Amino acid sequence: MRASRLLSILMLLQTRGRMSAEALAAEVEVSVRTIYRDIDQLSAAGVPVYAERGCTGGFALLDGWRTRLTGLTAPEAQALFLAGLPGPASELGLGEVMQAAQLKLLAALPTDWQADARRVSARFHLDPVGWFSGPRQVDHLPAIAEAVWTDRRLKVRYESWNAITSGEIEPFGLVLKAGIWYLVARAGGKLRTYRLSNILELTVLDAGFHRPATFDLAQHWTASTQSFETQIYRDTALLRASPRGLKLLAGLSPAVADAIARAPKTADARGWIRVVIPIESVEHAAQELLRLHAEAEVLEPAALRQRLGDTARQLAALYAGAPTQRGRRRS
């Protein structure tokens, strides 16, 4: 345990530079006193670590000194090979770079670990694309990735759900979610999310921008998606559904599945259960609930029940008689 902690401290100093005892203690989750003992141990082992006093002081390694020791364990090396998704890396223009990096990592591993690392990619494959869909063509991805990396502004022509707009944006980061690439960028002083497949035109500008040092892409994405999911469901609907209807309902969205899981499991004589689910709007809910056929009945709101009833009557009238002349096949 102590050896692993000493390696962690060494890697932190090597990658981050000078760090205070308090910061090191927080990173490796030990007391400040333990950090001082660990620093003494590293120094006794020949590691050129020194201390600087003052409000901006801390521990640091001698300039130019680096260790070849990576501190990787066998499971960590295997995880690195598992994490290298060939599809997204190729889309970013990093396919060959990723392969080269894996070869270098493989060569640095002990002999008995190399076979395990190769076995990971041979036995585990991560496919981020959903069923019945292929990877979306994203023509501008490499250029956007380069702009994200070099902090350069972009001029885009973008098609949203209700309009086509043009303007300059500051790209903060790329996110791959369910096989779809998104760009988090600042526009007009606010952070916004852009779907890359909706970018119609793109120009990388020479002008740069200042990226806040405190911006955390993963943290921002988690918070923004949670906010989006909370805001998109503006109403609720009361339904009664059969056991099969509940399974179909749960497949509509995670929010609906969560509502079903929390609903009381009191069934009527037919085995149907009442459940309140979140909905975006009457129009959207009507389209989604038609997929349940006769396995669920909307009780409230009245507008949604009326919309489904009207649609059902239109379908019944459409299919009541023989096919129209226009729909018949020619003999």
Per-residue pLDDT of 91-126, as tens digits, reads 665 555 566 556 656 655 556 666 666 666 666 666
In three state form, how does the secondary structure of 219-245 look?
Answer: HHHHHHHHHHHHHHCCEEEEEEECHHH
Is there a contact between 91 and 137 (Cβ–Cβ < 8 Å)? no
For residue 192, pLDDT beyond 70: yes
Burial group, residue 195, by CB count within 10 angstroms (0-12, 13-18, 19+): middle
Asked whether residue 239 carries a pLDDT value surpassing 90, the answer given is: yes
pLDDT tens digits along 54-101: 777 899 888 877 655 555 555 666 555 555 555 665 566 555 556 655
> Phi and psi (nearest 5°) for 103?
-65, -40
Q: Considering only CA atoms, which of 169, 283, 281 is closest in space to residue 234? A: 281
Q: Which residues pair with 51 in a beta bridge?
A: 59
State yes or no: pLDDT of 211 exceeds 60: yes
Other beta carbons within 10 angstroms of residue 299's beta carbon come to 14
pLDDT at 122: 66
What pTM was estimated for this model as a whole? 0.56
Structure tokens of 75?
Answer: 């499971």
Q: Any idea what DSSP says for residue 136? A: P
Q: Where are the beta strands (DSSP E) in 36-102?
A: 49-52, 58-61
* Measured torsion, CA atoms of residues 46, 48, 53, 54, in degrees rounded to the nearest 10: -140
Closest CA to 218 of 254, 186, 184, 181: 184
Could you read off the pLDDT of 157-175 as tens digits, one per residue?
999 877 899 999 999 999 8
